[in-house]
Amino acid sequence: MPVSEKLIKRLKAAFHVVVASGAGISAASGVPTFRGKDGLWNKFKPQDLANMNAFLEDPALVWEWYRWRRNIIKNVKPNAGHYALVEMEQYFPEFSVITQNVDNLHQSAGTKNITELHGNIMRDKCINCTYECDETETNAAQFENNVPRCPQCGSLLRPGVVWFGEMLPQTAIARGQSLAAEAEIFFSIGTSSLVEPAASLPYIAKGNGALLVEINPEETPLSSIVDQRFASEADEILPKLAMLVRKVRKRIENH
């Protein structure tokens, strides 16, 4: 794992480190990515399912797809990549993970400071009112034709994720942008760097002086501008980076 002098120097001195993660960090846990060689989109067409029109046309079908994905997620565990980030968090005064993932695996691993840009697949929310809940709180009595209904207003409940054509939660994207602007090191891990506005975060970071690091076995549109690229799988490279961090820094006691 050749690590540049520049990165080692930053790892030694940085106050604020930001990680932006995508589906690739969960690949080793057995959660399919969207794009890429084993991507979901080779088998399905999520853009046809993950949007409001498709949902209104056939909510039962869209729910069936999400239940299938929930079941995968309920049966997987965080991998060495997620755990390495939990360890790294203890060595920097500010350490934040901004994720496009809806799979809850950073949370299960124990990362504390997480910004979810695309929501969380384990949540339900109403298409009409502000009602939101954990999927476990939606009970059998609320279902009509396999589709759950809002206990407050009777409208359809939908998965608590961001769909094509929808805005990201305003507070999450604003937080992501301000974290990116403050980062001294910005890691882009396991994302195809194609989907906006998440794809712009590393540019904000670099524009504000961050050192950019990419971890992805495949090249992305970001690859040509990063300061260091690890063309490896996240679960392989992150534990090595965490070990390096342990060597060059002292643990922050109040973490």
User: Which positions are catalytic?
Assistant: 118
Angle at 148 between CA 42 and CA 139, to 5 degrees: 115
Question: Residue 150 Cβ, how far from Zn ion at the closest point, in Å?
Answer: 3
- The type of residue at 93 is P
# chain residues binding Zn ion, by CB under 5 A:
8
Partner residues linked to 157 by β-bridges? 126
Residues near ligand OAD (CB under 6 A) are 22-24, 27-28, 33-36, 39, 50, 100, 118, 162, 190-192, 195, 215-218, 220, 233-234
Given strand 157-161, what is the order of strands in its sheet? 132-134, 119-126, 157-161
| 12 three-state secondary structure | helix
Question: Residue 23 Cβ, how far from ligand OAD at the closest point, in Å?
Answer: 3
Asked whether position 137 contacts Zn ion by CB under 5 A, the answer is no
Q: Which of 42, 128, 146, 208 binds Zn ion (CB under 5 A)?
A: 128
Asked whether position 208 contacts Zn ion by CB under 5 A, the answer is no
Asked whether position 71 contacts Zn ion by CB under 5 A, the answer is no
CA distance 20 to 62: 28
Asked whether position 129 contacts Zn ion by CB under 5 A, the answer is yes
β-pair type (157-161, 16-21): unpaired
Contact assessment for residue 186 and residue 215, using Cβ atoms and an 8 Å cutoff: no
CA distance 86 to 97: 10
Residue of this chain nearest to ligand OAD (CB atom): 24
Question: Residue 126 Cβ, how far from Zn ion at the closest point, in Å?
Answer: 3
- The type of residue at 88 is M
Of the candidate spans 12-20, 105-113, 131-139, 236-244, the one that interacts with Zn ion by CB under 5 A turns out to be 131-139
Residues that bind Zn ion (CB under 5 A): 126, 128-129, 131, 150, 152-153, 155
